[in-house]
Structure 1
Amino acid sequence: MTSEYWPLDDLCVRSGSIELRPPLPAEYEALADAAARETHVHPLIPFLEHASDTPMERGRRTLQWLWRNYGTWRPDEWSLALAVLDRGRLVGVQNVRARDFARDRVTQSGVWVFRDERGQGIGKHSRHALLHLIFDGLGAERSRFRAAADNRASLALARSLGYVEDPPPATGRGGARHFSLTADRWRARPHPVPAHIEGLDRALFMFGIGHE
């Protein structure tokens, strides 16, 4: 049942076989299980960045990350985790976050597709749906994305969606490459699979825009 105090629960982006929506509490355990099965360190994914973690610790970190996203939410600093479903199957998570979004209109984003679901185009398709939310739903002017320097799949994904590589910041995490995509560049590109957003209007105030 949707809470009148938390309208984000109604948010959904659909694009072909892909659906993005806040994960249901019952799906948290499945996300933790998928993280526990990961065999490689992912330095830019908060719950998969610790090489010394046991599977149990990776699962716990995943739950803590999901809880923290909601527990620390403020309109001037938020982090939205969206479950990625392909034909109804839970296959990963997209994340978009921002600080002072109402002023800057800039987001950071990340993607994690389950280990046994990679190589099927899910990352690109779900990222396309997320960018539709970022630019056409929230009215962002720029979307930023970091990829590990040795992650060929993430680097290729960024370029295929029109991201342009930026110079590395003076301070920041080493071993990462930084990309950005502007709203103008996004809208100038073809979008062969349309995306549709539901349930956003009532939640805009939670992103620091619109009115409650």
Structure 2
Amino acid sequence: MPVDPRLAEAFPPLGLRVTAGRLELRGIGTEEALALIDVVRGGVHDESVMPFSVPWTDAEPEALPANYLQWWWRSMATFAPDAWELNLCALWDGEVVGVQGVATRDFATLRFGETGSWLGRRFQGRGIGTAMRRAFCALLFDELGFEFVTSAAFTDNQASIRVSYKVGFRENGLDWQPPRDERGTLQRMLLLPENLVRGEPLTVAGASAMRRFIGVEDA
């Protein structure tokens, strides 16, 4: 069920809700966090590869719930207008499937952020990841004052790179990260509003409160 309205009033990111066809993106409350832990336990990727710059899925099974809750609480506790993360729970046909988010810094000046996402392994290959990113980027451009959006994926994660192309991202150079103490090559990506390939029309709730919270005037 959606986050308690009293919490959403106190912390507007929890009150954001986006619907686009079969997809819903909404603030992560207690029930969503617990459901996401179950999705992670079901697997996010093949254990032989690491698609994330921070290898959070390498945690031991017994440590995963605490690690995930600490990440969730930390992203809320450190939220500030000049540097913030917005992470929304993704549901497909009402079932929790993953997370779509963005991280920013000096947002009032720079007006961009880097997106990141994950999707439970059993939900992959069905177009859900593409729908998540299209809806989220439309939210950022249409409602939250973003002027461009960046993303990145390791070059051996071709599935993620294909999703970026489908959304309208263009290649934007290379970077290097050591997710498992080995150098991995990151393909950096850039999305401009005019290049966004939109999906289903959006219905958005909670955007006005979120704009006030991050210091963006109403569009």
Whether these two folds match at TM > 0.5 is: yes
- State TM-score, norm by structure 1: 0.88
Amino acid at match of 2:205: E
Structure 1 counterpart of 2:87: 81
Structure 2 counterpart of 1:185: 195
CA gap of 1:64–1:192, structure 2 versus 1, over 3 A, is: closer
Q: Please state whether the residue corresponding to 2:81 is helix, strand or coil.
A: coil
Deviates more, 1:141-150 or 1:4-13: 4-13
Which of 146, 152, 173 is the aligned partner of 1:146? Answer: 152
- Structure 1 unmatched ranges of 5 or more: none
* CA distance in structure 2 between the aligned counterparts of 1:142 and 1:89, rounded to whole angstroms: 30
Structure 1 counterpart of 2:98: 92
Structure 1 counterpart of 2:142: 136
Per-residue deviation, 1:106: 0.8
CA gap of 1:205–1:17, structure 2 versus 1, over 3 A, is: same
Structure 2 counterpart of 1:62: 68
* CA distance in structure 2 between the aligned counterparts of 1:48 and 1:116, rounded to whole angstroms: 19
Give the paired residue count: 205
Per-residue deviation, 1:47: 6.0
Per-residue deviation, 1:46: 4.0
* CA distance in structure 1 between the aligned counterparts of 2:53 and 2:67, rounded to whole angstroms: 11
Q: Please state whether the residue corresponding to 2:84 is helix, strand or coil.
A: strand
Structure 2 counterpart of 1:48: 56
CA gap of 1:43–1:156, structure 2 versus 1, over 3 A, is: closer
Structure 2 counterpart of 1:168: 174
CA gap of 1:45–1:15, structure 2 versus 1, over 3 A, is: farther
Per-residue deviation, 1:167: 1.3
Q: Please state whether the residue corresponding to 1:77 is helix, strand or coil.
A: coil
Per-residue deviation, 1:192: 4.7
- Structure 2 unmatched ranges of 5 or more: 179-183
CA gap of 1:9–1:104, structure 2 versus 1, over 3 A, is: same
Deviates more, 1:74-83 or 1:61-70: 61-70
Q: Is the contact between residue 14 and residue 196 of structure 1 (CA under 8 Å) also seen in structure 2?
A: yes
Structure 2 counterpart of 1:10: 15
Deviations 1:7-50 (A, max 9, x none): 22221111001010112212212212222332525342646353
Amino acid at match of 1:150: D
* CA distance in structure 2 between the aligned counterparts of 1:59 and 1:109, rounded to whole angstroms: 23
- State TM-score, norm by structure 2: 0.85
Per-residue deviation, 1:185: 2.1
Per-residue deviation, 1:58: 2.9
CA RMSD, Structure 1 to Structure 2 (Å): 2.0
Structure 2 counterpart of 1:210: 217
Percent identical among aligned pairs is 32
Deviations 1:130-158 (A, max 9, x none): 01111111121110001121111101101
Q: Is the contact between residue 20 and residue 201 of structure 2 (CA under 8 Å) also seen in structure 1?
A: yes
Q: Is the contact between residue 135 and residue 199 of structure 2 (CA under 8 Å) also seen in structure 1?
A: no
CA gap of 1:165–1:87, structure 2 versus 1, over 3 A, is: same
Deviates more, 1:113-122 or 1:55-64: 55-64
* CA distance in structure 1 between the aligned counterparts of 2:60 and 2:122, rounded to whole angstroms: 19
Q: Please state whether the residue corresponding to 2:174 is helix, strand or coil.
A: coil
